[in-house]
């Protein structure tokens, strides 16, 4: 994984230098890429892993993987600009119009790298269709998330499929596509469940992240929050007014201790872990059904640090 990350990094930088003739654009791109490199290159690595799984040869796939990571970076920056909840990020410390310009550039560069990742016109067309299909799907989910419109857990799961799981489908699907010359519906199906499990795990982590952002104070309707909203009763019904209207009793102070107590009493983390397990096992069942994955389960779980249970306080 380390070697793949280093190779993807080199391609990300070279792609930005190739397509950004503006010096400020290049400088911002390198700054943003450096920030991105503090995280695992999961999506790029998923492309490479699936490409190898289905018999793909050669190193050109790493340029495609770099393209995906640039797309993901542009999505992350856009998410932060919209939510205004990550002030320490470098893209939050420059004028927003300039940040948005770089976002659009990274998005276009990523697509260029992906489309030109194969010589065959048919594969390029299929890759373009898959990327645009899943990016549009993700943007639709992002709009629902921005508006915080999820009324129940079922609605939230549908939003997560669109916003987050679609990016896993895009990455796994592209790796299989470039190796096989055609899309692999079974891979795209298990990738969706992998994405659901991963996003719900992140939701649980954000429950107790009071230093940077917290879904309770932000009144975000994530799966754990929707479960809490549906569960509170008696003297805790103020939670409904808080999530829906932002109002709290005059004598009450919202703090981490209060929230942890609510989560403990209503079993929020336990419920969330059960849901993560449900989607994780749906993912593993579908993963095992693909013949090429035989004997690859442990390698896959190790490489991508797939966990059933999230970290929590």
Q: What angle do CA 180, 67, 280 make, to 5 degrees?
A: 65
Look at the block and give the residue holding tokens 């797309």: 71
Residue 135 sits in the same domain as residue 196: no
CATH number of the domain that residue 44 is part of: 1.10.600.10
Contact yes or no for 122/158 (Cβ under 8 A):
no
Give the pLDDT score at 1. 63
Q: Distance between CA 224 and CA 112 in Å, rounded?
A: 38
Which phi-psi region, left, alpha or beta, contains residue 220 (left: φ > 0; alpha: ψ -120 to 50)? beta
Q: Distance between CA 292 and CA 310 in Å, rounded?
A: 28
**Domain membership of residue 313 as a residue range:** 184-313
Could you report how far apart the first and last alpha carbons of the chain are, in Å?
A: 29
Q: End of a domain among 143, 163, 180? A: 180
Give the pLDDT score at 310. 40
Residue 260 sits in the same domain as residue 163: no
Residue 56 sits in the same domain as residue 191: no
Give the pLDDT score at 177. 97
Give the pLDDT score at 127. 94
> Contacts from 301-307 at CB under 8 Å and sequence distance 24+?
303/1, 303/45, 303/49, 304/42, 304/45, 304/46, 304/49, 305/40, 306/194, 306/197, 306/198, 306/280, 307/201
Residue 103 sits in the same domain as residue 189: no
Residue 117 sits in the same domain as residue 195: no
Residue 176 sits in the same domain as residue 202: no
CA distances (Å), origin 81, targets 23, 75, 203, 211, 280: 22, 10, 19, 19, 31
Give the pLDDT score at 305. 64
**pLDDT, tens digit only, all 313 positions of the chain:** 677 888 899 999 999 999 999 999 999 999 999 999 998 889 999 999 999 999 999 888 999 999 999 999 999 999 889 888 788 999 999 999 999 999 999 999 999 999 888 889 999 999 999 999 999 999 999 999 989 989 899 999 999 999 999 999 999 999 999 999 999 999 999 999 999 999 999 888 888 877 766 788 889 999 999 999 999 999 999 999 999 888 988 888 888 899 999 999 999 999 999 999 999 999 999 999 999 999 999 999 988 865 544 444 3
Q: Distance between CA 176 and CA 112 in Å, rounded?
A: 19
Residue 29 sits in the same domain as residue 165: yes
Residue 124 sits in the same domain as residue 269: no
Contact yes or no for 24/98 (Cβ under 8 A):
yes
Residue 217 sits in the same domain as residue 289: yes
Residue 51: both structure tokens together? 């490409």
Residue 14 sits in the same domain as residue 141: yes
> Contacts from 51-56 at CB under 8 Å and sequence distance 24+?
51/175, 51/176, 51/178, 51/179, 52/179, 53/175, 53/176, 53/179, 53/292, 53/293, 53/296, 54/175, 54/176, 54/179, 54/180, 54/184, 54/292, 55/179, 55/180, 56/175, 56/178, 56/179
Q: Provide the strand spans (E) within 88-180.
A: none
Contact yes or no for 145/225 (Cβ under 8 A):
no
- Which residues lie below 8 Å from residue 109, measured CB to CB, with a gap of 6+? 15, 16, 19, 20, 67, 70
Give the pLDDT score at 24. 95
Residue 166 sits in the same domain as residue 188: no
Residue 117 sits in the same domain as residue 22: yes
Q: End of a domain among 139, 159, 180? A: 180
Give the pLDDT score at 6. 85
Q: End of a domain among 180, 202, 224? A: 180
Q: Distance between CA 226 and CA 67 in Å, rounded?
A: 35
Look at the block and give the residue holding tokens 């290159």: 41
Question: How many distinct structural domains can be found in the chain?
Answer: 2
Give the pLDDT score at 251. 84
CA distances (Å), origin 17, targets 11, 109, 197: 10, 10, 36
């Amino acid at each position: 994984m380390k070697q793949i990350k280093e190779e993807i990094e080199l391609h990300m930088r070279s792609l930005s230098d190739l397509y950004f003739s503006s010096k400020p654009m290049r400088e911002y791109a390198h700054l943003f890429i450096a920030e991105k490199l503090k995280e695992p290159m999961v999506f790029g690595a998923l492309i490479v892993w699936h490409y190898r799984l289905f018999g793909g040869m050669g190193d050109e796939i790493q340029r495609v993987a770099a393209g995906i990571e640039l797309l993901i970076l542009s999505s992350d920056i856009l998410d932060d600009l919209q939510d205004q909840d990550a002030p320490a990020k470098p893209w939050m410390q420059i004028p927003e119009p300039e940040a948005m310009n770089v976002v659009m550039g990274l998005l276009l560069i990523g697509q260029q790298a992906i489309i030109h990742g194969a010589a065959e016109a048919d594969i390029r067309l299929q890759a373009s269709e898959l990327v645009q299909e899943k990016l549009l799907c993700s943007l639709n989910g992002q709009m629902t998330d921005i508006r915080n419109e999820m009324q129940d857990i079922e609605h939230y799961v549908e939003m997560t499929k669109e916003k987050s799981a679609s990016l896993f489908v895009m990455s796994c699907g592209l790796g299989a596509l470039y190796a096989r010359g055609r899309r692999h519906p079974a891979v795209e199906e298990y990738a969706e469940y992998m994405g659901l499990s991963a996003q719900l795990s992140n939701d649980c982590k954000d429950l107790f992240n009071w230093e940077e952002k917290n879904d309770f104070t932000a009144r975000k309707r994530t799966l754990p929050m929707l479960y809490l909203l549906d569960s509170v009763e008696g003297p805790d019904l103020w939670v409904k007014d808080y999530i829906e209207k932002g109002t709290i009793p005059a004598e009450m102070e919202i703090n981490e201790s209060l929230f942890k107590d609510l989560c403990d009493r209503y079993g929020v983390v336990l419920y969330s872990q059960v849901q993560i397990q449900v989607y994780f096992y749906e993912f593993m069942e579908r993963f095992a059904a693909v013949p090429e994955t035989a004997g690859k389960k442990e390698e896959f779980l190790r490489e991508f640090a797939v966990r059933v249970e999230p970290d929590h306080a």
